[in-house]
Structures are given as structure tokens and as C-alpha cells.
Structure 1
Amino acid sequence: MSSGKRGMKATKSCEGGGVGVSHGIALKVGVAALVLCSALLLTSCDGTIEMEGLFGEAPALTADVSADDPSRANPGAPRDTTPVVLVAEQPGIATYDHDKATLDYSNVAAGYLCVRNNMAGVKVMVIMTVPDGNQYKYPITESGVFQTIPLSRGNGVYQVDVYENLYGDSYAAIFTQQVDVALADEYGAFLYPNTVVRFSDGDEAVTLSRQLATNATSDVEVVDQIYMWVVQNIEYDYEKAETVAPGYLPDNADTLRTKTGICFDYAALMAAMLRAQSLPTKLDVGYCGEAYHAWIEVYTRDAGWIRKKIEFPGGAYVRLDPTFDSAGKGTGDVSRLVGDGRTYQPMFYY
């Protein structure tokens, strides 16, 4: 993979990282290197692999959001825990339509755009350059169904490049479209299901979110109850971490069935359940120390954006990293694993 952008050519190598790994487009990169880089996204959650130089300098972390005013998180009236699953729409008002792929960007103000692969049996790769210059990759293998891609980096110009897989890691450009985004709601992108955080009305994760949030009287209590269930019931799957295939995406139904997962699974499951409870939740991918890792941030009306810590009843702080905290089943001190939060360096947001 390349750490810088390359010029556009008719045929490109677009592999090497699955969703949201590369900052640039690698041209004719060796397959072995591509598999390694893909695996790092999903398998290095508990490792100490030296990652410096692969992706360039990671963005600096923002400041902690602390609930220093206890009244902001105090329970009040019973909270409505009815799940809300937003559905992305493709009204066809603003589109780029090609016989091989279709882009619908009619609803960018809501925080998303949609891409459909129109070719049966052929993979499409979407590479989206966001306003901060990072590039996100979205492979689309399913034909005839629109996939939702989040506009996770706020207002600005997004460039959407769509490619057809020719063979192996070689791709041909289908089209390029620039989209000017002005969000109506800064939280919208983190409420909808998308290609990474996948959930739908009536599925097990959504139903479970309601069960776990029962009797909660504040957003913070909902976060607490869902978080504690995840870290107490999902075991880290070390074998999966060693064998996961490149381009892997979490499947919440499988995580709930097996009660096991890797960092990506933990984060995707909790993000889905919190979004179903109308809590904007980011799935972050980046570094935790030297390990490439996935975790979440959640926004509550009680405490704002909760990034690295949250005050729960009793005054204890629990980090929103369900992978690491699962080792202690939500009861232990995980500071030895995550320090004071400054080791977290997010690079991609879903």
C-alpha cells in the first residue's frame, strides 16, 4: 500500500486493506504485502506489530469529554427504548448512472451516499477520498443492491472513484464523481446502518438493544448496560484473529451466535445496538499503541461525545473499548492495556 496519493490510470490495483485501510491507491502491489496489510486491520488488536510508516502520521486525538457535571448523566424519566433503524433512500435526484455501477448521492445532507454494483459476478471497488485527504475503500460484491457509505468526515468535497475488478488485484476505472457535502445534522452519518456497521429492523442485535436498555432512564445508562453486556458475554477469538480473511466485515448475527469475535466484531456489534437506540456512534479504526485496532465513540444528550471514558453510576470510569475490557468482564482495571487513553490514534471513522 502507498502512504501517498498516486495519479489516476485506466487500470489500477485497488486491493490491500478491505474497508478503510489505505490512504492511497497502490499500483501493482505484491499480493503477499496486500494480504498482510489487510490482515493487520482485523488481527492486530492484541499484538505489538510495528506499524510506523505504513499509513503515515495518524491524526491527533481530540480532548476527553468528561461528565464533570453529574447532573448531565443523572437518571430522569424512563427512556423510550423502542429501536429506531433508519433506512437509506435512493430517490434518484442526484446520480451518476453507468451500466456497471450506479452512484446515488441525493441524500448527502443526511450523511450518506449509496453505490450499486450492476454487474453479476464481478466485484466493484469504491475508493472515496474524504475532505481530510484520507482514502476509504469499499469493496462491493453483491449485485443489484445499493450499499450505504457514510460521509463520516463532515462537510466538504468527497471524491468517489468507482472501479471494476478485472482479475486478481487489477481494476479498471468506471467513473469518478465529486460530491459537495453540507450536512444537515453532524450526527446523521453515525445513526444509519452502512457497509461496516450492518443492522436491520428486527434483527437480533436490534432486538437485544431494546432488552438491554429496558428500565434505563438516560442515554448514559443505555450505554452502560449495552457496554457491560458486550464485555461480559463476548469472548475474544484468538484463532479467528490469526486466520481472518482479507476484506473481512463483521457479521453481528454470527458474533451473537458464537459469543466470540475480534476487535472489529466487538465494535460493530456495540455500534449497531447503540445506533438502534438512537445514539450516534462512530466505529473508529486506528492505532492503540503499536496495534491496529477498532473501538467506538458514542454521543449522548447527557454527556456529549464520549470518546475515551464515561462516568457511570458509582463514579467509576470505563473505557469504551469493549475488546480490551472483555478480558476483565467489565470489572477489572484495563489501564495496563489502554493507558490513559492517549495511546488511541483514530485514522478512519465509520
Structure 2
Amino acid sequence: MFKKLLAMTFVTAMLFCSPKGTYAATENYQIDRTALDKGVITVRAAQPADVKTIVRISKGNDNYDYNLVNGAQYPLQRGNGTYSVLVAQLMSDNKYKVVSKESVELNLVNENAVFVQSIPLINWNSNTKAVVQATKLTNAAMTDMEKTAAIYSYITQSIRYDFAKAQSVQADYIPDLDSIYESSKGICYDYAAMFAAMARSQNIPTRLVMGYEASAPTTYHAWNQIYLNGQWVTIDTTYDATFVQNGQETPMIKNPADYTITQVY
């Protein structure tokens, strides 16, 4: 229900150019491990680059690419182990030059800690309007399931699908949660990012997931997984909003077999 976004998909088209084992002075880019116990790192640039710069975080065969935002938190969401953090600058077309590379060892007691953090794709804080709304919605809730249901009901009732945006969204689009909240409309990426931010703000581990849904197997889609009662369950507020707003019933928790995952955040 949206275009494959540049930050998630140019990984296969990107060509890195650098002599094996040699990189530009790493002091230009520092990896801040202060919040490593939460499953995130920060990449800091000594000076703002005048060219497009990306951060690639890899573990095994999994690669995740992000546009470098100085001071932003980047997740290590593929579990404990050794990650490679690579910084590369655009040379031309899809060719990037590696300027820094480091290894980071993750050893979390609770590997779900990363899924309650603010990251570039799910950018929130206590003043984010949807987060303020989540606090109000869950004020009387006693359990994570009750909090989840309150957030789910709000989004499926209040946010309408933006068909025009789905046709015009740019490849490097990242949701602006305040804009989505104010306009009360968005694409699947917006629904999933808002749900994740609202649930994470209540300290409920929540993933933003991308891939394909069985009823539209060729259409790239975004939805959520949320950790409830000791297991990850699947929630799709985008599809459900259509049912809810048309007065039709639909279960909040979906069959995971109906979804094919390509990326997890």
C-alpha cells in the first residue's frame, strides 16, 4: 500500500566503493554506545556532510539502511550478537564510498528493549501529539491488552486512508507523526508508525513490519507486531480502519500466516 522506500530498499542496488580494509578517518564519525543497553546506537558526525550519507547496520545477512541524521538513534533489532555499522557517502548514482566501519556487540538481558525506543522511522517523544493522546486513552487501562485495544480503536476509528498520498509518496518518505495526527489520514506506513509510537510510549514492545499481505501479494505493505502475554501478535490497523469506518467487525489480532515479512523495525 505504499512504494518501497529508499531507506529500506536501495540496499540491493547500492554499490560500495572502497579498497578492502581501508576507510576514511573514523574520527569524522563516532558511534555513541551510551544507550546500547536499550538496543540502540547513535552515529554522530564531527561535521555535517555536504553529500548524502547513509548508515548501514548489518547482522549476518540482514542489512538495514538509514539516511544519516546527526544524533538520531538507530536500532539493533535483530537480536544479540555482533553488528557491523558502516557509514557511506554518495559518490554518484547509487554508488557510495565507505568512510567508516565499526563492529558493535549487543548483549541485552531483554532483547525486546529495542522495540520501545524512538528511532528514525518511529520518531516520537513525550510531546508527540499521538503519544499525548495515547496517555489519555490508556489512563484507566489495567493491562497491556487493554492499552493496545484502546490505541487500536482510536487509530482505526480516527485515521482515514490517504489514497492520493499513496500515489505520490516519495521514495525517501518517513512519517511525521504530528502531521498524521493533525490531518487524521495517512498510508499504511503512517498507520504502522503511529501505532508503534503510541504503544511504545506505554512501554509495550512493538515492531513496525514491512512486507506483503496475502490478499494483495504484490503490494508492499506495513503493519505491526506487538508483544502481548508473552508472544508477538499481528495487528494491521490500515486494513482494519476500512472495516471499522464502514461499520464492519474485524478481529484486532490477525493470522500471522497471512503476512510475509521482509523488514522488521
TM above 0.5: yes
In the alignment, which residue of structure 2 is the partner of 1:266? 191
Q: Which structure is higher in RCO with an 8 Å CA cutoff and minimum separation 6?
A: 1
**Deviations 1:119-176 (CA, angstroms, capped at 9, x unpaired):** 2543211111123x12111012x4xx31111111101111111101234433211011
Matched, 1:122 2:38: no
Aligned-pair distance for 1:214? Answer: 2.2
CA contact (8 A) 1:24 1:134 kept: no
Distance of aligned partners of 1:24 and 1:180 in 2 relative to their CA distance in 1, 3 Å threshold: farther
Aligned-pair distance for 1:325? Answer: 0.2
Matched, 1:153 2:78: yes
> Where in structure 2 are the equivalents of 1:1-350 lying within 5 Å?
17-21=5-9, 24=12, 26-27=14-15, 97-99=26-28, 101-117=29-45, 118-131=47-60, 133-140=61-68, 142=69, 145-289=70-214, 290=217, 291-300=219-228, 303-308=229-234, 320-329=235-244, 332-334=248-250, 340-350=255-265
Query: SS state of the match for residue 141, structure 2?
Result: coil
CA contact (8 A) 1:17 1:137 kept: no
Query: SS state of the match for residue 307, structure 1?
Result: strand
Amino acid at match of 1:27: L
Amino acid at match of 1:329: V
113-122 or 263-272: bigger deviation: 113-122
Whole-Å Cα distance in 1 between the matches of residues 185 and 139 of structure 2? 24
CA contact (8 A) 1:159 1:179 kept: yes
Query: SS state of the match for residue 158, structure 1?
Result: strand
Query: SS state of the match for residue 15, structure 2?
Result: coil
Query: SS state of the match for residue 101, structure 2?
Result: strand
CA contact (8 A) 1:284 1:297 kept: yes
Q: How many residues align?
A: 248
Amino acid at match of 1:260: K
Query: SS state of the match for residue 249, structure 1?
Result: coil
Whole-Å Cα distance in 2 between the matches of residues 134 and 345 of structure 1? 16
CA contact (8 A) 2:41 2:73 kept: yes
Query: SS state of the match for residue 79, structure 2?
Result: coil
CA contact (8 A) 2:209 2:224 kept: yes
Whole-Å Cα distance in 2 between the matches of residues 105 and 339 of structure 1? 36
Whole-Å Cα distance in 2 between the matches of residues 97 and 147 of structure 1? 18
How does the TM-score come out when normalised to structure 2?
0.85
Among the aligned pairs, what percent are the same residue? Answer: 29
Amino acid at match of 1:98: E
Higher helix share: 2
Whole-Å Cα distance in 2 between the matches of residues 164 and 285 of structure 1? 26
Query: SS state of the match for residue 41, structure 2?
Result: strand
Whole-Å Cα distance in 2 between the matches of residues 25 and 160 of structure 1? 19
Stretches (4+) displaced over 4 A: none
Query: SS state of the match for residue 342, structure 1?
Result: helix
Whole-Å Cα distance in 2 between the matches of residues 17 and 232 of structure 1? 27
Amino acid at match of 1:213: T
**Deviations 1:274-325 (CA, angstroms, capped at 9, x unpaired):** 111111111111121312111111123xx223423xxxxxxxxxxx100000
CA contact (8 A) 2:15 2:94 kept: no
Aligned-pair distance for 1:260? Answer: 0.6
- The alignment's C-alpha RMSD in Å is 2.3
How does the TM-score come out when normalised to structure 1?
0.66
CA contact (8 A) 1:197 1:272 kept: yes
Q: Which sections of structure 1, spanning at least 5 residues, go unmatched?
A: 1-15, 29-95, 309-319
CA contact (8 A) 1:126 1:163 kept: yes
Distance of aligned partners of 1:326 and 1:152 in 2 relative to their CA distance in 1, 3 Å threshold: same
Higher strand share: 2
Q: Which sections of structure 2, spanning at least 5 residues, go unmatched?
A: 17-24
CA contact (8 A) 1:161 1:175 kept: yes
Q: Which has the larger radius of gyration?
A: 1
